[in-house]
Amino acid sequence: MSLSKLSTVCLALALALGMSACTPEVGSEAWCKQMKEKPSGDWTANEATDYAKHCVF
């Protein structure tokens, strides 16, 4: 693997890890608030199920 490819892979991994660290834990108060602000048409089936389980009931 060339140095430029290795650099690109490392940068992509660092960005992915950095972005995932900003997401609140599913079921937390912050997550429920974030989901409430997100248009329900953009929710995945898993998000809708988790929202109902953690934020409604």
Please state, in angstroms and rounded to a whole number, the distance separating the CA atoms of residues 10 and 28: 31
Residue 49 lies in a domain: yes
Q: Give residue-wise pLDDT tens across range 7-21.
A: 888 777 766 666 656
- Tell me, what amino acid is at 55? C
CA distance 1 to 35: 41
- DSSP state, residue 40: G
Residue 20 forms part of a structural domain: no
Which one has a higher pLDDT value, 3 or 28?
28
State pTM to two decimals.
0.59
Task: Say if residues 31 and 24 touch (Cβ distance below 8 Å).
Answer: yes
Backbone torsions φ then ψ of 39, nearest 5 degrees? -55, 130
What pLDDT does residue 17 have? Answer: 62
Kindly state whether residue 9 falls inside one of the protein's structural domains.
no
In a domain, 29, yes or no: yes
Q: Does residue 57 form part of some domain?
A: yes
Containing structural domain, residue 34: 25-57
